[in-house]
Amino acid sequence: MAEGRHRLLIATQNPGKVRELQQLLGEATWELVTPAAVGLADLEVVEDGESYQANAARKARAYANASGLPSLADDSGLEVDALAGAPGIHSARYAGVGLTDQDAANRRKLLDALKGIPSAQRGCRFRAVIALTHPYGPDVRFGEGVVEGRVAEDERGDLGFGYDPIFELADGRRMAELASDEKNRISHRARALADLGWALDALAVALERTSGAEKVGKDESDGGTGQAGR
């Protein structure tokens, strides 16, 4: 553990989400670690819940229990009004599973599904739910964030990942055209983390108190056995 910081596992195998969450969280309070760094690169969690919360909680619990570390997991999706909210919780595998370029296949399927739909009816939103839990703890805390837009008729931009190249903001730009610092001010994950901020702060304080109490106990034990002066 880095001096003054506690480890927090980013519970996802998606490299785009890892990068974005690392940028959003920074490392002032937490020492952020990835599944690969703790030997969990092959851990896969079945995301068959019926809500973003259910899937995020399942991932957070699985990674926390496997690693022994507090863990942060997200589930997110694109909700398209003209498709009655689809692909929603199925966004990550909308075009199927095991595809060579999953993101590109998902975007193609969505654009095909919306062919002929006029601009005024292409409203959509990115929604993210982020779950935070502690190893074997009963509680899971949640934060939720939403950003509104519309599905464009083609792709533009090479930044971001997932549906970013076809997600059009109110000013006409695509999410994939935003530099990371701007995206991290407005994105659904940024808003979900802001909503969860109180729980992250509370966990950091609790861990600090626990480690402080353990240090005092160790110092007293060392003193009691004559080890302090050695």
Instruction: Tell me the average pLDDT across 97-107.
Output: 93
Q: Domain map of the chain by residue range? A: 6-224
Q: Please state, for a pLDDT cut of 70, what percent of the chain lies above it.
A: 90
Please tell me the predicted confidence (pLDDT) of residue 5. 81
In this predicted structure, the answer to whether residue 226 has a pLDDT above a threshold of 50 is no
In this predicted structure, the answer to whether residue 14 has a pLDDT above a threshold of 50 is yes
Query: For the segment 108-128, what is each residue's pLDDT rounded down to a tens digit?
Result: 999 999 999 999 999 999 999
Query: For the segment 42-77, what is each residue's pLDDT rounded down to a tens digit?
Result: 999 988 999 999 999 999 999 999 999 999 999 999
pTM, 2 dp = 0.86
Instruction: Please state, in angstroms and as integers, the Cα–Cα distance from residue 22 to each residue in 14, 30, 55, 141, 166, following that order.
Output: 12, 10, 21, 19, 24
Name the class of domain 6-224. Answer: alpha beta
Confidence of residue 164 (pLDDT cuts 50, 70, 90): very high
Confidence of residue 144 (pLDDT cuts 50, 70, 90): very high
- State CA 68 to chain mean position distance: 19
Contact indicator for 73, 131 with CB cutoff of 8 Å: yes
Tokens of 142: 């949640």
Please tell me the predicted confidence (pLDDT) of residue 229. 42
Compute the half-sphere exposure of residue 184: CA atoms within 13 Å on the CB side of its CA.
13
Helix axes 188-224, 15-25, angle to 10 degrees: 70
By annotation, the residues acting in catalysis are 75
In this predicted structure, the answer to whether residue 216 has a pLDDT above a threshold of 50 is no
